[in-house]
């Protein structure tokens, strides 16, 4: 099977599996434990897929599906350890996980994308020769950086009346915690925009393409464009931040995973940049929005009736988690860890 047929079939398969998994949980469990557990797993998944190239030395001699199984097991094991530490340090050991801990987990994924892709693992990949060692060092650094930024920017005092709220666990940062999370993800959108453009126009300046210059320039661009998008959507158009999030940033990111990882960037391969980037972005947005609409239409069947909009944003939380918390990591497991086995034969690399 060749692209794009391979990616389409694989995406349909994983979407079906994901919806089946989601249906196993009621919303209170899905909105707490499931989000938290998956958020603890995804940063290590990025390390394995990006920094390790899904082919570290300890599995490189194995064929599929054993290689994929071993990578998933390593991913889960590290995620359990990291999640356990975060549950105690950030969440105070409270069960089920509080929204403070859940949002900490979500933005740790954003910080990992920032370090692993925007900075290409720098400085760890340049200082540590072993990809495994560099990846694990970066993972530890990401959580330290995320913790410091979380305490600086996130505030949850607006939730002070909730039964789970503990003032000692609230970072008491500069911004409303939900709004800060929405800004993080909105800025992350422009990381993926640049991937569609194969880093054009950065590629026109060789000096920019070296780390840490690339990471710095890319970060500044994402922050500026993210701020503009957030301001237009939330401040100018008056959208609820969570509704804004599921209307644009999340569908685009989800569609990007389909276009780049599942379809292997094959839709517009014959075009050159920047035309290819524009077409890719349009395709990612259309695919992401259509899939988000489909998930939304199935929400009541899969999980039950969910209340949309503030103050609880149950529907928005469900949709964001279903797309990026469940289906996204499952897509990456299948596309990168298993190399789409058994839809495509795979040999040791």
Domain tally, the chain: 1
Residue 349's pLDDT is: 52
* Residue stretches of the chain with pLDDT short of 50: 348
**Is the residue at 111 inside a domain?**
yes
Assign residue 313 a region (left: φ > 0; alpha: ψ between -120 and 50; beta: otherwise).
left
**Is the residue at 266 inside a domain?**
yes
Residue 302's pLDDT is: 97
What is the CB-side half-sphere exposure of residue 340 using CA atoms within 13 A? 21
**Is the residue at 303 inside a domain?**
yes
Over the stretch 174-215, which tens digit does the pLDDT of each residue have?
999 999 999 999 999 999 999 999 999 999 999 999 999 999
Domain that includes residue 149, residue range? 5-337
Over the stretch 294-303, which tens digit does the pLDDT of each residue have?
999 999 999 9
**Is the residue at 103 inside a domain?**
yes
d(CA 181, CA 204): 33
Residue 202's pLDDT is: 97
**Is the residue at 347 inside a domain?**
no
**Is the residue at 231 inside a domain?**
yes
**Is the residue at 59 inside a domain?**
yes
**Is the residue at 343 inside a domain?**
no
Residue 1's pLDDT is: 79
Residue that the structure tokens 């929400």 belong to: 299
């Amino acid at each position: 099977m060749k692209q794009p047929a391979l990616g389409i079939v694989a995406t349909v398969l994983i979407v079906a599996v994901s919806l089946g998994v989601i249906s196993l949980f009621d919303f209170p469990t899905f909105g707490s434990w499931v989000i938290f557990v998956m958020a603890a797993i995804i940063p290590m998944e990025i390390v394995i897929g990006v920094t390790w190239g899904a082919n570290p030395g300890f599995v490189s001699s194995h064929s599929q599906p054993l290689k994929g199984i071993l990578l998933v097991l390593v991913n889960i094991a590290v995620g359990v350890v990291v999640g356990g530490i975060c549950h105690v340090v950030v969440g105070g050991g409270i069960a089920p996980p509080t929204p403070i801990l859940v949002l900490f987990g979500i933005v740790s994924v954003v910080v990992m994308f920032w370090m692993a892709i925007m900075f290409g693992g720098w400085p760890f990949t340049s200082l540590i020769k072993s990809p495994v060692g560099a990846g694990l060092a970066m993972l530890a650094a990401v959580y330290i950086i995320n913790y410091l930024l979380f305490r600086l920017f996130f505030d949850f005092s607006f939730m002070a009346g909730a039964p789970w709220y503990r003032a000692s666990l609230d970072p008491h940062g500069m911004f409303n915690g939900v709004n800060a999370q929405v800004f993080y993800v909105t800025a992350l959108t422009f990381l993926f925009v640049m991937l569609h453009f194969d880093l054009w126009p950065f590629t026109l300046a060789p000096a920019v393409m070296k780390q840490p210059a690339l990471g710095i320039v890319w970060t500044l661009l994402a922050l500026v464009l993210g701020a503009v998008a957030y301001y237009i959507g939330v401040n100018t158009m008056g959208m609820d931040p969570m509704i804004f999030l599921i209307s644009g940033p999340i569908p685009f990111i989800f569609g990007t995973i389909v276009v780049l990882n599942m379809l292997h960037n094959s839709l517009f391969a014959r075009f050159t940049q920047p035309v290819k980037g524009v077409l890719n972005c349009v395709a990612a947005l259309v695919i992401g929005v259509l899939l988000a609409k489909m998930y939304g239409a199935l929400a009541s069947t899969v999980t039950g009736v969910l209340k949309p909009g503030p103050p609880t944003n149950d529907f928005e939380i469900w949709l964001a988690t279903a797309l990026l918390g469940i289906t996204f990591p499952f897509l990456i497991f299948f596309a990168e860890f298993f190399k789409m086995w058994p839809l495509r034969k795979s040999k040791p690399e």
